[in-house]
Structures are given as structure tokens and as C-alpha cells.
Amino acid sequence: MNPKIVEWLLEGDAWIQYRTRVDLLGQAESDPQVCAVRKAMLADPKIQSLLAGLKDWPGAVLNSHKSASQPFHKLAFLADLGLNVSDAPVKAITKKVMAHQSAQGAFQLPTNIPTHFGGSGKDEWAWALCDAPILVSALVKMGLGDDKRVQTAIQYLDGLIRENGFPCAVSPELGKFRGPGRKDDPCPFATLAMLKLTSRVPELQEGKSAKIGAETLLSLWGESRERHPYMFFMGTDFRKLKAPLFWYDILHALDILSQFKWARKDRRFQDMLSVVKAKADDDGRFIPESIWTVWKDWDFSQKKIPSKGLTFFVERIEKRIES
């Protein structure tokens, strides 16, 4: 860990200071400096804006899982920052999230799949494996992992694992819909999302689904020129540095894989990490190469100067490897 980088990060937005103190410096949540900067983070207008938008959960009908404006992505980001059900707005939001649970166990979002894609063409509550595990992992991170409803969702979703990863799976309400790929192929993003969930559930961290999920992603990296299931590529766009960590890209994949000790030792993980490290400037800082325009007020939504937020995400991966 570079002390100069840490010093620079501690000059950033409150959320960067907070996560730097906890994740990089190992300071306790009870530490006065951590408490002070966490309070500042919660008062930050950008955080307040995210919370205000989520109070109207679930928001608009789901039209694209990739959209960075999707409420479930914003919820996942707040969970990653460390907001939890002890924070009053979060408790109210998670209550709304859990109000719609499917018969299978996964939590639902309002969705509309056109008939020509195999759906009903109507607005309906449903889930897909590219949103359900993101919701559940956020709930776990926010302190609801022991809730029976969350446990039911975890058990069902984890049971969808196949020998080659997680499939493109959707709830019965969505009919015959599935993504643009072969039915027997794994869905790379669903696998990434499920791996994020298993990383947060202690009893699954060393389990079959985590091992298969990690191997699926690492194999896709190793064969990135030949294999592109469901049109998820690991090419030029995948390798661009981008934050927040929402979609199928190199930093998101590394962030999730780095939470498994056995995955960090894999040569393919190391190869993926070397691609990222080669992008650092002379001071070890990172400049975003792609941005989510709807996050224009955040420091990682520009491509001209080093971003403290983006650099923090890389440093956190490095810290996990060191430890």
C-alpha cells in the first residue's frame, strides 16, 4: 500500500475517506475519525440524492439491466459504501424492497418484456438472475443476512448453479424470455452477480457455486478471444476502467474475485490485475477510461485527471491481496 496514495485518498469525498480508513487502514467503525467521516458521508448531498431517489422504490419499470440509473444498482452502491439498516432511510427502503418476494424466493422488480422477446408485453413483478442476486447481496451487506426472507432468496438463487456457471434464468412471469445466447451457456453477468452474493455469505464462500462461478469468469478471461456467451465480451470495452462497479467490466470482476483467497492466487486473476496496474500514472493513480453519464457529479465521471474514487477501488483490491 502506497502511503502517498492513502494520504491523497484521505483528501477526497467523505465516502472515499470513510472506506479508506476502514478498508485500507483497518480502522474500527468505533474509531472517532471513522465515526466523524461516516457522519459526513451520510450528510453528503450526493448520498442524500441517491437516498431520496430510492425512497420511491421501485421506481420506473425495468428496461435495461445495464443502465446505471437503475435503482437496484444505486442500492448496491450504497451497500458497498457501508450504509445499513441502522440508517433510517435505508431501513425504510429495504422494507419496500422486501415487500415483493416471488414464490421462488427472489425479490421482484417491475418489469416489461415485449412479446417478440418471449414476454407478455405487460408490466409485471418479476426477477431475473441479472438483478435478483444484486438485490439480495445488497440486503445482506446492509445487515439483513439473517432475515428468513433473505435466507430463502439466497438458498433458491444458489441452487441455480450449473457445472459451467449460472444460467440466464428468469421468473415464470417472464415466460420464454432469455438473453441472446445458447441455452446451455452460462450467463457471464449473472455469474458475476451471483459470485458477489456468495462472497457475502460466509457459508457459501468456500462452496461449490463460488468455486464454479470463479472458474467460469477466469476461464472466460483465459479464452476471451474465443468465448463470448450471451454476447458478453472481455475485449476493449471490458478492459476500460470505470466506476461505480455495476456492470461486466474488468474492475468489477477483479473486485469480486479478490474477495476469495483461492481466486487471488490464480494466474488468470494475476494476469487480469496486471492489465489494470499497467494503467496507473507515474504516481500510482488511475484515470477513468469510461464513464456513466448519469453519475456526472462524482469524481470518477470524467476522463481527464486521476480519480480518487476509482483509485480507491484498485487500492482495495491490492489491499486484499496483501492481506
* Tens digits of residue pLDDT in 34-88: 999 999 999 999 999 999 999 999 987 667 777 888 999 999 999 999 999 999 8
Higher pLDDT, 49 or 182: 49
Percent of the chain with pLDDT over 70: 96
Q: What is the DSSP letter of 126?
A: E
Label residue 116 by pLDDT band (50, 70, 90). low
Rounded mean pLDDT of 180-184?
83
* pLDDT value at residue 120: 64
Q: Give the distance from CA 61 to its chain's centroid.
A: 20
177 pLDDT more than 80: no
CA separation for the pair 200, 192 (Å, rounded): 13
269 pLDDT more than 70: yes
8 pLDDT more than 70: yes
Label residue 123 by pLDDT band (50, 70, 90). confident
* pLDDT value at residue 230: 77
Element housing 124 (H / E) = strand 124-126
CA separation for the pair 194, 198 (Å, rounded): 6
Helix (H, G, I), strand (E, B), or coil: what is residue 190? helix
Cis peptide before 114 (omega within 30 of 0): no
DSSP 81-113: HT--TTSHHHHHHHHHHTT-B-SSS-B-EEE--
* pLDDT value at residue 50: 96
* Residue found by looking up cell 487471488 in the block: 264
**Residue 70 has which C-alpha cell?**
437503475
98 pLDDT more than 70: yes
CA separation for the pair 130, 65 (Å, rounded): 7
* pLDDT value at residue 117: 60
**Residue 262 has which C-alpha cell?**
483461492
Helix (H, G, I), strand (E, B), or coil: what is residue 170? strand
* pLDDT value at residue 173: 82
* pLDDT value at residue 92: 95
What does the mean pLDDT of the chain come to? 93
CA-closest candidate to residue 117, choices 179, 182, 51: 179
* pLDDT value at residue 162: 96
b or e along 303-322 (b: 16 or more beta carbons within 10 Å of the residue's beta carbon)?
eeebbbbbbbbbbbbbbbee
Higher pLDDT, 111 or 7: 7
CA separation for the pair 293, 273 (Å, rounded): 26
231 pLDDT more than 70: yes
CA-closest candidate to residue 157, choices 108, 90, 106: 106
* pLDDT value at residue 88: 85
* pLDDT value at residue 111: 84
295 pLDDT more than 80: yes
